Chains A and B, each alone.
Chain A
Amino acid sequence: MNAVGSSPRRGGGYGRVTGHQEYLADIKLPDALHVKLVTLECARARINAIDSTEAEQVPGVHFVMTAADLPDPMPRFGPQFQDRPVIAVGETKYHGEPVAAVAAETKDAAEEAALLVKVDYTKLEDGIFSVADALAPDAVLVQDPALRGASSFAQTNIIDEKHFGWGDIDDQEAHLVVEDSFQFPMVTHFAIEPHGFMAAPDGDGIEVWSTIQHPYLLQKIMAKMLDLPLSKVRVHAPDPGGGFGGKQIPKFEPLVAFMALRAGRPVRLVLSLDETFQQVRRSSAEIRVRAGFTAEGVFTFMDIETNFLVGAYVDIADRVVSKSSYSGAGPYRIPAVKIIGRTILSHTTPSTAFRGFGIPQIGWARESLIDEAALQLGIDRLQIRLLNLARYKEPFIPSEEADGDWEQTVRTAAKRIGWGDPLPPNRGRGIAVGLKSGPTTGLSYSTVRLLYDGSAMVYAGTSDMGQGARTIFAQITAEELGVPLDDITVVMGDTSVVPYDQQTSASRSSVLMGTAVQRACFEIQGKVRAMAAKLYNVDEGDIKVDQGRLLLPDREFSVVDVMQEALAPLGGEVIGNGEMRKDKEPDHPLGGTAAFFEFNCTASEVEVDMETGHVTLVKHVTVGDVGKALNPLQVTMQDDGAAIMGLGHTLMEHYIFDNEGRVRNIGAIDYRILTSMDLPLDLHSESVENADGPGPYGIKGVSEGSLLVTAPAVGAAVREATGKIIRDLPLTPQRVWEALQEDENGS
């Protein structure tokens, strides 16, 4: 069995091509009530009164839930701060925040009634929609200081200010100092499956269904909010139809749980795409970078200040800020670095995790500034990166060392894009280097059951939201136990059945859960080895196990054959458990070193239409240091997909707000993502494999690398083609055209 390094058909693929895969909205709970949210046509408003009389007269309507029906004080929750209310209380803080929820027998009735809920509200004019608004001396406070505890920032809109760095930037001399500021827009995840939530009373407990990526986090939050033991909260998490970070953190699960308990029946809330747009997004950011260089182009210092505008509730955004800021200086050898990262509240959709976790924002600024330095120093943009890149095992942040041959990755990307080859008119090339910390802590358990007929079941609490975790865990099991891939079932998505997993994020699952699965297989190997020793009267120490084969001194057997012989005549199974733990390191600024780094080099060649400002991607190359490609096709799928997603925020995606904080381009018509007609003419993804990762067989995580620095690579190419530097994304035809109209003085 050579399952590792192969690209079999995707686990769960049959259901996905036949329509039989059950996503959340496909699950029909008998007797379920349908829920529709009531929202306001502005961001910030005082709720004076809610009159549900007329709504409740719509046939089929059971009740309308508002803050008045929930415990006082309003229960609040969140992964970092307990700031998000179950439903808006007293005031709405972003456009789309629900103030009431209708429960009815049918969708039609719920929708009709939602329009009849009379909300008496007062628009509040001084909403916070930008970093400047938030930091103004007379700014209103987005959050009640009473919720902020002992924070020294409680009387401001700053949630926290992170300070990282080493050395003293003021002590460093420099031949050249460059400085610039850059902006990164608000963009949304746009998973094709909108978010959905269901709940049902379950005896003395509750069952919850969610499109969530982190079912065990949801279980903890529900248990706490409902004062139930974990054993009485059962979370069903069917494979999400795309997550990208947007489905990590609970949103309306507590609301539907309270509604189900009130109704004594299941309730179901499936959001529309438009509603989903108003609930999750990537944090926008304003980033100032200053850097010093020697005449030869060697870094002497870097000074980064980031202001992330995170939205009305913190969600996981403060972690986005700290984790991305910490490695914001990139994979370079820099003697002195100072980083300040601010998490800033606003009256906008709460931002959350989004593929890349803050790195695309900082990478856009840092890599663009390095190009500026190279141009001013007359050094090639590839060479300045190679010159400063940390070498294998070299510490580049205190307590973090380079975990790969990063130069190999960069040189491969340069070669594939044809770096240095002559360019036709109106063309330009760019190259950029991205680095993202993998998980800093982790805890994954897996159980593997080798069944009597030689098939196997793998229990893993990862969410397979498209990355193909089902395939990976089956491949590991096939490799270790010699079970054919088609005979392996991977069970996920039910906290009552599958053991604990911390979360599905940070490209962790192949490495962390994969290790747990492999260890569970090792335990089975050990048990079967003991069986073989007994059956054949051999010392256990003399039996080796390799790819599902037991190698005795004079003969060999398959694991399955030995198991069957040992367990006959009753049958039965052999069960293995595996655990992978990456503990907290209390003294580490992030609470733990990175389990691995996702290192990527992106290179792009563009052609700019000088009449219209339209950018065509002639060639786009991403190369990632993946350790080993356990499933090469899935690695390519992740890399191609992430690159194309990165081209979205680079070229076309952004929320547009009006002066009342309303998102004006909600939904698929007005918010554009790439289609099959917008692709690079030539898209090339490639892996560097040195088997130097911490996961099984030397793998590292892979799912985010190729969108980390899409924007600076394309931006640099546009700059070379046009001679114009653009500091704001996306690089829409209008923005590029406007830059082309500027005279040499930039006015």
Chain B
Amino acid sequence: MNRTLTIETTINGRRRSLDVAVNHTLLDVLRDDIDLTGTKECCVVGECGACTVIIDGRPMNSCLMLAVEIDGSEVTTVEGLELEEGLSPLQGAFLDEGATQCGFCIPGQLMAATALLQQNPDPTVEEIQEGLAGNLCRCAGYEQITKAVLAAARGVKQ
């Protein structure tokens, strides 16, 4: 029905060859085609950040990208954050600091924060707030999210 293209990509460390509809966003493909539903759909105009994933080290709104654009790229979604030994320090800090209320924005917050810490392992409060400014939280756990990112940064440094 819809034209498809085959893309080669690595998602959460797993190499995949995917036939994707040319009109489908990366968000569509993650959620509907390969059942990685941790990435959330909200505004679909790149304003809320709920669909944030990391592509080749950069946080991106997966609702604004066509899936074919990730051909040859490396993608990390929230399902790829957990370490073999358990939750990542950032995930653990989100729970310890009370950053997680309804939880719907949290995958996006975690991906944006992960990318931020990769680029800036020792961020200030202002840098965290700026780094996560594209991720809306209507429960408004912003204070707790910021604290969690700070705590994770300090924990990783130690």
Which residues of chain A have a CB within 8 Å of any CB of chain B?
A: 7, 9-10, 12-23, 25-26, 28, 59-60, 106-109, 189-194, 239-244, 270, 272-273, 465-468, 633-634, 636-637, 640-645, 667-669, 673-677, 679, 683
Contacts and interface: CB of A to CB of B under 8 A. Distances in A.
Of A16, A108, A643, most buried by chain B (CB within 10 Å of CB) is A16
A634 B101 CA distance: 9
A467 B78 contact: no
6 contacts: A10-B101, A13-B95, A242-B104, A637-B144, A667-B47, A668-B47
Given A19-B77, A643-B140, A667-B43, 13 more contacts: A13-B100, A16-B106, A17-B87, A193-B42, A193-B104, A242-B138, A468-B101, A640-B140, A645-B140, A674-B142, A676-B132, A677-B129, A677-B133
Contacts of B71: none
Given A18-B87, A192-B50, A465-B102, A272 B44 contact: yes
Interface string B40-69: 111111011010000000000000000000
A339 B112 CA distance: 49
A643 B141 CA distance: 11
Of A17, A59, A109, A239, most buried by chain B (CB within 10 Å of CB) is A17
Interface in B90-104: 91, 94-96, 98, 100-104
Contacts of B91: 17-18
A645 B102 contact: no
A675 B133 contact: yes
Contact of B143 (A10, A23, A190, A679): A679
B81 interface: yes
B153 interface: no
B136 A192 contact: yes
Nearest to B98: A633
Contacts of B10: none
B25 to A, nearest CB: 12
A9 B144 CA distance: 13
B36 A637 contact: no
A16 B144 contact: no
Contacts of B32: 107
B28 to A, nearest CB: 8
Contacts of B50: 192
A669 B37 CA distance: 24
A66 to B, nearest CB: 25
A527 B29 CA distance: 53
Contacts of A637: 98, 101, 139, 141, 144
The 3 A-B pairs of least Cβ separation, nearest first, read A19-B38, A241-B104, A466-B102
Nearest to A22: B37
B141 A641 contact: yes
Contacts of A679: 129, 142-143
B105 interface: yes
B34 interface: no
Given A17-B87, A19-B107, A192-B102, A10 B42 contact: no
A674 B48 contact: no
B4 interface: no
Interface string B99-142: 01111111100100000000000000000111011111111111
Contacts of A242: 101-102, 104, 138-139
A239 B102 contact: yes
B95 A683 contact: no
Contacts of B129: 676-677, 679
Nearest to A273: B43
B147 to A, nearest CB: 11
B47 A190 contact: no
Contact of B138 (A244, A468, A667): A244
Contact of A669 (B47, B105, B110, B141): B47
A582 to B, nearest CB: 27
A177 to B, nearest CB: 39
A274 to B, nearest CB: 8
Contact of B37 (A17, A19, A194, A636): A19
Contacts of B9: none
Nearest to B145: A676
B98 A10 contact: yes
A273 B23 CA distance: 20
A10 B95 contact: yes
Of B82, B96, B98, B133, most buried by chain A (CB within 10 Å of CB) is B98
A578 B47 CA distance: 45
B143 A640 contact: yes
Nearest to A19: B38
Contacts of A26: 31, 37
A343 to B, nearest CB: 27
B2 interface: yes
Contacts of A25: 31, 37, 41
B103 A12 contact: yes
Contacts of B98: 7, 10, 633-634, 636-637
B104 A23 contact: yes
Nearest to A105: B1
A668 B48 contact: yes
Given A16-B106, A18-B81, A18-B87, A641 B42 contact: no
Of A10, A239, A243, most buried by chain B (CB within 10 Å of CB) is A10
Contacts of A17: 78, 81, 87, 91, 94-95, 100, 103, 106, 110
A668 B136 contact: yes
A445 to B, nearest CB: 25
B95 A675 contact: no
A16 B42 contact: no
A118 B119 CA distance: 52
A191 B37 contact: no
A466 B143 contact: no
B31 to A, nearest CB: 8
A17 B38 CA distance: 9
B138 A190 contact: yes
Contacts of B140: 640-645, 674
A108 B134 CA distance: 28
A192 B87 contact: no
A239 B23 CA distance: 31
B45 A668 contact: yes
A210 to B, nearest CB: 15
A668 B101 contact: no
A116 to B, nearest CB: 15
B133 A60 contact: no
Nearest to A644: B140
A672 to B, nearest CB: 9
Contacts of B144: 637, 640
